[in-house]
Amino acid sequence: MARVLCVAAVQDGRIKRSSLEVLTHFRQLCDRSGGAVEAVVLDPQPNQFVDTLQKYGASRIFLVAGDAFGQHLNEPVVRALESVFRQSGADAIAFASTESAKDVLGALSVRLGAAVLSDVADVDVRDGDWVATRPVMAAKRHARTKALTTPVIVSVRAGSYVASEAPAEADVVEVSFSDDEQARRPEIREVLVALGGTVDLSEATVVVAAGRGVKDNEGRQLIEELAEVFKAPIGATRAVVESGMYPATSQIGQTGKVVSPDLYFAIGISGAIQHVAGMVNSRVIVAINKDPDAPIFQYCTYGLVGDLYKILPSLTEELRAAVAG
Amino acid sequence: MRFCVCIKQVPDVAAPVHTGRMVLNAYDASAVEEAIVLKEKHGGTVDLVLVGPSGATETIRKALAMGADDAYHIIAEDHDKLDSFAIASMLAGFFEGREYDVIACGKQAQDTDAGLTGPMLAEMKGLPYASNAVGLDIEGDRLVVTRQGDSGQEILVLSPPCLVTCSNDMNDPRIPNLRGIMAAKKKTIESLPMDQVGGNVSPRSQTIDVFDPPGREPGVMLDGEPNEMAGTLVNKLANEAKVI
Amino acid sequence: MEERFDCIVVGGGIAGLSAAMVLARANKRFLLIERGEFCGAKNVSGGVLWGSDLERLVPGYSTDADAGFERFVGHRRLTFLDDQSSFSLDFKSGHFHETPFSGVIVLRARFDEWLATKVQEAIDASSVADESFLATNVLVDRVIQEDGRVTGIQAGEEQFFADCVILAEGVNNLLTRQVGLQPDYVPADHVAVGVKEVIGLDRTVVEERFQLDGLAGMTNEFVGYATAGVEGGGFLYTNRESVSIGLVLGMKDLREKRVKPYDILNDFKSHPAVADTLRGGEVLEYSAHVVSTGDMGSMPKQLYGDGVLVVGEAGHLLMNSGRAIQGMDYAMRSGILAAETVVEAAADVDFSSSSLRRYEQALEASFVMKDLKGFQDAVHLLHDPIMYEKMPAVLCDFGRSFFTVESEPTEKAIKSFRKAAKKHLTTWELVRLSAKAAKSL
Ligand SMILES: Cc1cc2nc3c(=O)[nH]c(=O)nc-3n(C[C@H](O)[C@H](O)[C@H](O)COP(=O)(O)OP(=O)(O)OC[C@H]3O[C@@H](n4cnc5c(N)ncnc54)[C@H](O)[C@@H]3O)c2cc1C
Ligand SMILES: Cc1cc2nc3c(=O)[nH]c(=O)nc-3n(C[C@H](O)[C@H](O)[C@H](O)COP(=O)(O)OP(=O)(O)OC[C@H]3O[C@@H](n4cnc5c(N)ncnc54)[C@H](O)[C@@H]3O)c2cc1C
Ligand SMILES: Nc1ncnc2c1ncn2[C@@H]1O[C@H](COP(=O)(O)O)[C@@H](O)[C@H]1O
């Protein structure tokens, strides 16, 4: 095993859980076979994350401060990561598979001459060989893919591993970053942040997801009440995002986010393969659909055939009582 | 503006695996659609390039029938062995000496979901890029991209030449009409042998095998009146699945 | 700009593609329009294409490993079922292995698409390669008529014109009705529902389980318990890596008995004689489609008009005699004959109905109409409850006593048969059945 540099993604002032999962996984791999796991944070004020990263066992922490990192923009991120990587002498960079990571993997790999294993569900290193399992064909199949060159860049789907602490003393290295005004880069005109729950879908332990069966404000209300019981974020299918009922950030599936909570409610969702691709790894799936032949029932743990407008009121009430009691 | 859309032929993921039907990658179809809409609105041209086996011409024709202008087919018979890096390298070779304002890619290929080719190509060509676009517009000589990020949308302004990768959430690609289909047949598809675009690049990753994921345990279907089902479910969630 | 073709073919099923092949070879400028995303996308069929017309359309297909068929018919079986037993007539013969094959088992999604590529090759080789088109994913909304003559078609906002239109739209023949060749109302007892599942199995499992050699395949028709007392029959055909299993059920009887085809299919699949052959398989596809019964009462009054020809199942050219369903071979032959008529009419520059009548004459002279007429009694016999309810019971009872060896004096076969017949049939029914059967088969 070698040295792996984990990129710690920051959202809403904290390190994303999915990044900590990645850090944990590589820490454990390194513990078993020798090697070291390091972390890097890009942020206007990266120092605030040192404690967390130490807690999860990073042996060296690179801090890159820069106002440019207040918002996501690919060019400065690629440039900063390239320089940290060269300075660290690591053999690999690992990301949590977020939209921001997807934005930079390809470009960074060209800069570093690296092989990329993107959006993997599992990754292992044996005798120096990096082999990942990747869901393909909208998660209908899994592929085992091997990196043929080094260094290696890998991005891991949220929920693939469980984050656990293993406090360590880390060397903290501050890396200077100067904004290059000459760089050819997109210019940010505006950032529209979706108003939604504060819980990130890919980190939630319970997700309540709505599909086209949720037709109106009354349906939305029922979904919200159910979500409220668990303080769960609300996910959605492409169909209801398209209709404007839910923001695009709540879309779950091949195009949207991948989630794997302990409990997933699929409500008024048909179970199209592209949606299933994003939720099939949830531990327990409850499906409510009035069509007994809806494909979602092939994936669910518990299936309720019926009208969501009739089922949800009593279900929410029972759940509220059970959770409270 | 002069657009060139990189299109890929992929197996139809929605069809049963055994049929092996090949289709135009849905994300690329959205990129083609968006480029054609901009062409209709602001003028310009939309070309296509595909790396793939000779059998992929039908897929190119389909995109031409939507209203694209010229098409290039880089012939790669065992295309399956190529990873995003090898494809991006060939595309970079292809774009050498060709002038486009915007190169558009899909945000990912529907079959591999790699999502790498676009940003790799941008870096190889030294172009500014934006990924996961859900909206495109032209303002003067600049391209305005609405990008779907982790927690919201970012509106970015790019100066051509530049590259953008497109989400299928951007639009519903048109279904070609008869005139489009007929016109497409008369358009030429220029085929280029792989080595003409530097096709000897070695891939950096390799798929060893592909298998069915472990299936889920068959679920339990609940019957009865809404309140009965609710009661049974809560009981099972608490005592059987132990998630609440 | 007015686009004009020699011919427009509506529908890219077997009938339409067969017509297109002939037109392409004759260097005609034509437009074939299919509403499915690709040819075959919308087509359901149990799957045996009988006869040797395919060899005529695509010479040498039988030696092409990539040809669109699954297996050739190498083994045939007709099975009578009661609730637990089966009695089969089984026929296997070396002559089945000779080419051209007497029948090939097909999965339409694959076969039609393959046939379309062959048509495309024929277009590319023709002298008007750039002026003939196979267009998919386009729905023809209506036929354009001027002064009672068909002159073209409309799809969405677009109109296209031709000397002649061939309607190959299949059993749900809205355009044939629009031009007035078929009354809007087809009685429910003239249509049936076909349901089918494709069950995936490993290739080696298919070949071992059905004892198939190479690309040989088996066809099995079923009469009796398969349909749970509903008029109709069942079928099972072996594909390369799957089997097709299904039922064809009388629409009227289904309605009257208030049963769902899907439920009957599930019962059929769990019959001991069938379940064994499907063990371990995974359902890959389920589909349902209306199918004609072969009752000539449902046919259009005429298969041609001014500037228009009707082919395949759009003309209700189908026969279900119990031994086999024949719709694809009829579709193929009628498509060929219609296109040949168009080529002749073009030479005469006459597309009036009196010129296009030649098509119906050619069809009359062919096996299509000869069989359809000759086997009408068989078709009616199949609709007789004696046939799908009682006959299987008789045969299975007979089988039980004939094949069961007990420590008792053994009964002579004829005696067992009489006993079984007597138990299930009145003398009158027996007489009626034998008379009908003798006449019809
Ligand atoms: C390349 C590609 C990528 C895609 N990516 C995604 C993705 O990331 N995420 C995604 O979700 N989709 C995605 N899709 C779209 C996907 O194919 C489906 O169209 C979509 O998931 C359907 O959403 P739905 O289940 O809400 O709607 P529908 O399929 O319309 O299903 C609605 C369901 O609600 C049920 N229903 C209706 N009324 C009631 C009621 N009163 N009570 C109970 N049930 C009711 C109906 O029976 C039906 O099953 C993608 C498609 C493509 C081609
Ligand atoms: C379950 C089942 C089992 C069967 N088994 C057998 C068998 O074993 N052997 C056999 O010989 N036959 C069998 N048949 C019958 C056989 O499938 C049909 O007779 C045959 O498909 C008829 O061919 P066709 O080309 O006339 O029509 P179709 O195959 O129905 O093709 C018509 C085509 O026209 C298209 N179309 C229709 N309207 C329009 C429009 N307005 N615009 C554009 N396109 C249009 C349709 O999409 C379709 O592709 C079976 C049928 C069923 C349902
Ligand atoms: N063989 C190819 N030919 C042309 N473009 C391709 C090819 N493969 C990938 N692309 C482009 O790159 C995008 C992302 O592909 P991928 O990196 O494989 O997920 C696709 O949506 C296409 O725009």
* pLDDT for res C224: 77
Q: How far is CA A186 from the centre of its chain?
A: 24
The domain boundary, picked from C375, C401, C432, lies at: C375
How far apart are the CA of B105 and the centre of ligand 1, in A? 25
What is the atom index within ligand 3 of the atom nearest the CA of B52?
A: 1
pLDDT of residue C404: 75
Q: C242 vs B182: CB contact, 8 Å cut-off? A: no
Residues A297 and A172 in one domain: no
Examine the pLDDT at B171 and tell me if it is beyond 90.
yes
- C57 Cβ closer than 6 Å to some ligand 2 atom: no
On whether any CB of chain B is under 8 Å from the CB of C141, the answer is no
Residue indicated by tokens 């998630």: B243
Q: Is C158 exposed, middle or buried (0-12, 13-18, 19+ CB in 10 A)?
A: middle
- CB of C57 closer than 8 Å to CB of C18: yes
pLDDT digits (tens, 9 = 90+) for B60-107: 999 999 999 999 999 999 888 899 999 999 999 999 999 999 999 999
CA nearest to A276, candidates A306, A255, A290, A293: A255
Contact B178 C285 (CB under 8 A): no
Per-window interface: A 93-112 vs B, CB < 8 A = 98-100, 102-107, 109-111
Per-residue confidence band for C383, with pLDDT thresholds at 50, 70 and 90 = low
Same domain, A287 and A219: yes
Work out which ligand 2 atom sits closest to the CA atom of C15.
25
B182 touches chain C (CB under 8 A): yes
Q: How far is A38 from chain B (nearest CA, A)?
A: 24
Residues A34 and A173 in one domain: yes
Parallel/antiparallel/unpaired status of strands C48-50 and C103-105: antiparallel
Interface of B with A in 35-94 (CB under 8 A): 84-85, 88
Q: Which of C297, C323, C358 is the last residue of a domain?
A: C297
Across the range C243-265, mean pLDDT stands at 88
Say yes or no: C3 contacts chain B, CB-CB below 8 A.
yes
- Each as own residue / partner, the long-range contacts of residues A252-257 (CB below 8 Å, 24 or more positions apart, any chain) are A252/A201, A252/A207, A252/A209, A252/A278, A252/A279, A253/A277, A253/A278, A253/A279, A254/A138, A254/A139, A254/A278, A254/B110, A254/B113, A255/B27, A255/B107, A255/B167, A255/B168, A255/B169, A257/A158, A257/A201, A257/A202
Counting DSSP H helices and E strands in chain B, the numbers are: 6, 13
The residue assigned the tokens 């000496």 is B97
CATH number, domain containing residue A208: 3.40.50.1220
Residues whose CB falls within 8 Å of the CB of residue A249, separated by 6 or more in sequence, listed in order: A194, A196, A201, A257, B148, B150, B151, B152
pLDDT greater than 70 at residue A195:
no
Find the closest chain B residue to A241 by CA distance.
B169
More confident residue, C420 or C271: C271
Q: Which ligand is nearest to the CA of C43?
A: 2
Q: Determine whether the shortest distance from the Cβ of A274 to ligand 1 is under 6 A.
A: yes
pLDDT value for C1: 43
- Fill in the amino acid letter for B132: N
pLDDT in tens, C194-252: 999 999 999 999 999 999 988 999 999 988 777 777 777 899 999 999 999 999 888 88
CA torsion C97→C99→C100→C101, rounded to 10°?
Answer: 10
Q: Which residue in the set B154, B217, B237 is minimally distant from A191, CB to CB?
A: B154
CB-ligand 1 contact for A235 (6 Å cutoff): no
* CATH number for the domain that contains residue C284: 3.30.9.90
pTM more than 0.95: no
What the block records as the tokens of B99 is 């002038």
Tell me how far apart the alpha carbons of residues A102 and A84 are, in angstroms, rounded to a whole number. Answer: 19
Q: Could you tell me the residue ranges of all domains in chain B?
A: 2-197, 214-244
Chain B nearest-CA distance from A171, in A, is 30
Specify whether domain B2-197 bears CATH 3.30.2270.10.
no
How distant is the Cα of B183 from the closest Cα of chain A, in angstroms?
A: 32
Q: Which of A188-197, B73-82, C14-23, C339-348 has the lowest mean pLDDT?
A: A188-197
> What is the Cα A257 distance to its own chain's centre?
7
Final residue belonging to a domain, choices A183, A215, A234: A183
Cα distance between residue C278 and residue C244, in whole Å: 10
pLDDT for C429 beyond 50 = yes
Ligand 3 pocket, residue B63 CB under 6 Å? no
C156, C241, C242 ranked by CB distance to B177: nearest: C156
Tens of pLDDT, residue by residue over C329-346, are: 999 999 999 999 999 999
Residue type, C199: I
CA-closest candidate to residue C14, choices C73, C61, C54, C55: C54
Joined tokens for residue A112: 């570093």
The residues near B226 (Cβ < 8 Å, ≥ 6 apart) are A306, A307, A310, A311, A313, A314, A315
Q: Is B206 left (phi over 0), alpha (psi -120 to 50) or beta?
A: beta
Residue C375 burial (CB count, 10 A) = 21
Quick check: C94 contacting B, CB < 8 Å? no
Taking only the tens place, the pLDDT of each residue in C350-371 is 999 999 999 999 999 999 998 8
B8 CA from centroid of ligand 3 (Å): 5
Residue A191 lies in a domain: no
A207 and A178 together in one domain = no
SS3 category, C300: coil
Q: How many domains does chain A have?
A: 2
Mutation to probe ligand 2, out of C8, C14, C334 (largest number of atoms < 8 A from CB):
C14
A322: nearest CB among B158, B209, B238 = B238
Residue A312 in domain: yes
Chain B residues whose beta carbon lies within 8 Å of the beta carbon of residue C38: 21
* ipTM of the complex in this document: 0.88
The kind and range of the H/E element at C8 are strand C4-10
> What pLDDT is recorded for position C420?
77
Distance from C-alpha of C164 to C-alpha of C151, rounded to nearest angstrom: 7
Atom 18 in ligand 1: which residue has the minimum CA distance?
A: A272
Same domain, A137 and A284: no
Q: How confident is the model over B103-128, as pLDDT tens digits?
A: 999 999 999 999 999 999 999 999 99
Shortest Cα distance, chain A CAs vs residue B147, angstroms = 9
- Where are the alpha helices (H) located in chain B, listed in sequence order? 26-42, 57-65, 84-95, 117-125, 178-186, 226-239
Residue C37 phi, psi (nearest 5): -60, -30
C399, C87 in Cβ contact below 8 A? yes
Cβ atoms within 10 Å, residue B165 = 31
Instruction: Report how far ligand 3's centroid is from the alpha carbon of B84 (Å).
Output: 7
Q: How far is CA B222 from its chain centroid?
A: 40
Q: For residue B217, give the DSSP letter.
A: P
Q: Does C105 sit in the ligand 2 pocket, CB within 6 Å?
A: no
Q: Same structural domain for residues C32 and C167?
A: yes
Same domain, A279 and A220: yes
Instruction: Give the CATH number, domain containing residue C344.
Output: 3.50.50.60
Which segments of C258-394 are extended strands (E)?
282-292, 304-305, 308-310, 319-320, 325-326
Indicate which of B22, B24, B178, B182 best probes the interface with C, i.e. most C CBs within 10 Å of its own CB.
B178
Which contiguous run of DSSP H or E holds residue A66?
Answer: none
Residues C99 and C7 in one domain: no
Nearest residue (CA) to ligand 1, atom 47: A291
Is residue A193 included in any domain, yes or no?
no
C175 and C225 inside one domain: no
What are the φ and ψ backbone dihedral angles of A70, each rounded to 5 degrees? -65, -30
Q: How far apart are CA A60 and CA A54, in angstroms?
A: 9
- Which residue in chain C has the smallest CA separation from B182? C133
Nearest CA to ligand 3 atom 10: B8
pLDDT higher than threshold 70 for residue C3: no
* Domain that residue C404 falls in: 384-440
Percent of chain B residues topping a pLDDT of 70: 98
Tokens representing C67? 């040809």
Look up the CATH number of the domain holding residue A9: 3.40.50.620
**Residue A195 belongs to a domain:** no
A292-308 mean pLDDT: 96
Q: Are A139 and A279 contacting, i.e. CB atoms less than 8 angstroms apart?
A: no
What separation in Å is there between the alpha carbon of C287 and the centre of ligand 2?
13
Which two three-digit tokens encode residue A5?
């540099």
CA dihedral A70, A73, A75, A79 (to 10 degrees): 40
Neighbours of A317 (CB within 10 A): 15
Looking at the CA of A274, name the nearest ligand. Answer: 1
Residue A3 pairs in a beta bridge with A36
Pick the last residue of a domain from A183, A213, A237.
A183
Same domain, C147 and C80: no
Question: B117: which chain A residues are within 8 Å (Cβ-Cβ)?
Answer: 106
| C117 shares a domain with C77 | no
For the Cβ of C71 lying below 6 angstroms from any atom of ligand 2, the answer is no
β-partners of residue B10 are: B23
C 227-256 residues with CB < 8 A to B: 241-242
Tell me which residue range forms the domain holding A15.
3-183
Q: pLDDT value at position A207?
A: 97
Interface contact B139, partner A, CB < 8 A? no
What separation in Å is there between the alpha carbon of B9 and the centre of ligand 2?
29
Interchain CB distance below 8 Å, B178 and C135: yes
Task: Determine which residue's CA is closest to atom 23 belonging to ligand 3.
Answer: B105
C319 pLDDT tier (thresholds 50, 70, 90):
confident
Burial C265-276 (b: 16+ CB within 10 A, else e): bebbbebebbee
Q: How far is the CA of C182 from the centre of ligand 2 (A)?
A: 18
Question: What stretches of C179-239 adopt beta strand conformation (E)?
Answer: 191-200, 216-224, 232-238
Residues A167 and A274 both lie in one domain: no
Ligand 2 proximity of C170 Cβ (cutoff 6 Å): yes
Q: Is B15 touching A (CB cutoff 8 A)?
A: no
Strands A206-210 and A234-236, sheet pairing: parallel
Interface touch C31/B178, C-beta < 8 Å = yes
Contacts of B231 in chain A (CB under 8 A): 318
Looking at per-residue pLDDT, the higher value among C291 and C118 belongs to: C118
Q: Cβ-count burial of A233 within 10 angstroms (0-12 exposed, 13-18 middle, 19+ buried)?
A: buried
Q: Which strand (E) or helix (H) includes residue B192? A: strand B189-193
Number of domains in chain C: 3
Note whether C382 and C388 are within 8 A (CB).
yes
Describe chain A by its helix, strand, coil percentages, rounded to 5: 35, 30, 35
Rounded-to-integer distance, Cα B199 and Cα A118, Å: 23
Which segments within C239-343 are labelled E, that is strand?
242-250, 282-292, 304-305, 308-310, 319-320, 325-326
Question: Span B149-170, mean pLDDT?
Answer: 95
Please indicate, yes or no, whether residues C173 and C248 belong to a single structural domain of this protein: no
> pLDDT-derived band of residue C298, with 50, 70 and 90 as boundaries?
confident
Element housing C314 (H / E): none
- Judged by a CB distance cut-off of 8 A, whether residue C285 touches chain B is yes
Q: What value does the mean pLDDT take over residues C123-139?
A: 95
Number of residues that this document lists for chain A? 325
- The confidence score (pLDDT) of residue C295 equals 81
